[in-house]
Amino acid sequence: MSCRRCTSLVLAVLASACSASANTPRGQEQTAAVATRGNANLIVRAEFEGEASQSAYRAVANLRPRWLQPVRGASFVFETAYARIIIDQSMRGDLEELRSLRASDVTTMRLLSPVDATTKYGGGFPGGVVEVTTRGH
């Protein structure tokens, strides 16, 4: 495909996306959900709507199951390590913490790699971090 045809195709897709009903809050949430589906490290509130009756753990298992898997070779000390949970900027523990949180209470979740987690929070996160922001924060 020529560069010119590729550019035309991209512009057509963008124009179509922009003409969607994003004027309403509901339309904006749906647009945000569609935009983040391609982001393997972020889940936004609109994506949780279909999972509202589930625990946050079950929602993550459905939306981003890789987050619940161990990071292999995370460090020299640990062969495998799981992500730790931080809810509203407070360290909470392991992934099991998500079982006690309703998906409907979550605004966003972001997965940080072990390197990014160490940069932001210091050492002790060989499996990375799942940052959770709940409603009202």
What's the rounded Cα separation, in Å, for the pair 129 and 111?
A: 6
pLDDT of residue 136: 81
DSSP state for residue 89 in the 8-state scheme: T
The number of CA neighbours under 13 Å toward the Cβ of 34 is: 11
| Domain range annotation of the chain | 1-38, 41-134
Mean pLDDT confidence for 71-85: 75
Q: Token digits for 134? A: 């709940």
The architecture in CATH of the region 41-134 reads: Beta Complex (2.170)
Q: What is the pTM of this model?
A: 0.70
Q: In which residue are the tokens 């987050």 written?
A: 67
pLDDT of residue 19: 42
